[in-house]
Structure 1
Amino acid sequence: MNYAFDFSAPLAYAPDLLAGAWTTLTLSLASTFFGFLLGVLCAIANTKGTRWMARCAGAYIEVIRNTPLLVQVFIVYFGLSSLGWPVGAFTAATVALVVNVGAYTSEIVRAGIESIPKGQLEAAECIGLSRWQTLLHVVLPPAIERVYPALTSQYVLLMLASSICSQISAEELTAVANRIQSDTYRSVETYLIVAVAYLLMSLLMRGLFWLLARLAFPRRRRLGTPL
């Protein structure tokens, strides 16, 4: 093996790599926030909504979970343009990721909602809470708390999957890496640097979610339950 590693060439593009990493984090956090909201709404529709609401939510979940993310990105990016609504690569990537992670979030949150004991619901009814008060104060907080570790893992996977958006020229980390390796012809070194960057971003996101859990779920902190 005569290959000589040379990281100096790709590291000369450090500002571009940092800009790509920042775009990846921005894209991931925006998609996480809106995907969480969409997922919670679909989980409510699936478990507490009317029959037609449950069917619509179920159809959306099945379609998204059984089609590739890359195809979904292409449909949003090229489909909206074909309909006369051209959008930028970053916007299309965000929309596609929100739609994708919303379906997975919905199923995770649905499992949390269905884990709430019926006794708690009956107690809420006995003290005169309305249906929406019961949902907001009795059902959702403990449901989300129970499935929070699964949600955090899903959102870290979302950040890693955002690399697919390089296929529509969204200037996230992988797209920047593709450009750098084509300029420097140092593919191995470039992608090793990018792999380390993704590892650091994964640890950063897990740290942010851990801090959020300590603020949002003080009971778990008191009990010493893993966050």
Structure 2
Amino acid sequence: MNYQLNFSGLVPYLPEFLAGLSTTIQLTLISTILGLLLGTFCAIGRISQLSGLRFICISYIEVIRNTPFIVQLFFIFFGLPAIGLKLSAWQAGSIAMIINLGAYSAEIIRAGIEATAKGQWEAGKTLGLTRKQILLYIILPPAYQRVYPALVSQCIIVMLGSSVVSQISVEELTFVANFAQSRSFLGFEAYLSIALIYLMLSILMRQIFAFVKQRAFKNPSL
């Protein structure tokens, strides 16, 4: 085999690659923030004393965690218009990523909450705090710290999974690579390039989350 790499052939597509990178970052940022918020709400709902809320949260978590992400994406983009809910490709992709991260992070956060000693709840009640105040100020901070590495990994998995939204024509990195290789016939170079970009994004995300950990937790070594 005597294959000569030709990355220069991708230079004309550099603006498209930069636009695709921007879209991937936007999708990741939005899905991470809203997905973790949704996951926190569902984790609390999962252990709620309200049976109706608990049932809804459990059902949502089980459905999302036991179906493929691409099926969820197609259902939102192709299925919902049948009942009058038509979304753009970008909207459908971001919603699918948010919903997916929400379900997985909910179980991670729930595990952190349930690992908290029951004495913490009792201490909060002794201080006269409401259940909401106990959750916000006593239970959730150490629970987040306990499961933080798992949450970081899950957020990175969702970022990498953003490549799937190219299937509904969201112009992110993988879509751009498909576009570039179909016109330049430089498939090896195009896909190697975005593989390296995804790798760098993963490393960058870990560094950002490590920085957040240093600022957010009193004892980041835990």
What range is the shorter-chain TM-score in?
A: over 0.9
Residue of structure 2 in register with 1:153 after alignment: 153
Q: What's the offset of the Cα at 1:99?
A: 0.8
Distance 1:154 1:49 in 2: 27
- Map 1:61-140; keep pairs closer than 5 Å: 61-140=61-140
Residue 83 (structure 1) shift:
2.2
Deviations 1:18-62 (A, max 9, x none): 110111011011001111111111100111341221111111111
Amino acid in structure 1 at the alignment position of 2:109: V
Partner of 2:57: 57
Provide runs of 4+ in structure 1 moved above 4 Å. none
Residue 84 of structure 1 deviates from its aligned partner by 2.3
1:163-205: CA deviation from partner (whole Å, max 9, x where unpaired) = 0000000010000110000010010011011111111111111
Matched residue type, 1:33? I
Aligned to 2:29: 29
RMSD after superposition: 1.1
Amino acid at match of 1:68: P
Report what 1:2 is aligned to.
2
TM-score, scaled to structure 1: 0.95
Q: In the TM superposition, what is the alpha-carbon distance from 1:147 to its structure 2 partner? A: 0.6
Q: Which moved more, 1:10-19 or 1:156-165?
A: 10-19
What does 1:39-50 correspond to in 2, within 5 Å?
39-50=39-50
The amino acid of 2:42's aligned partner reads C
Give percent identity, aligned residues only.
Answer: 48
Paired residues, what number? 222
For 2:166, the equivalent position in structure 1 comes to 166
Residue identity matched to 1:184? S
TM-score normalised over the length of structure 2:
0.97
Where does the alignment leave 5 or more consecutive residues of structure 2 unmatched? none
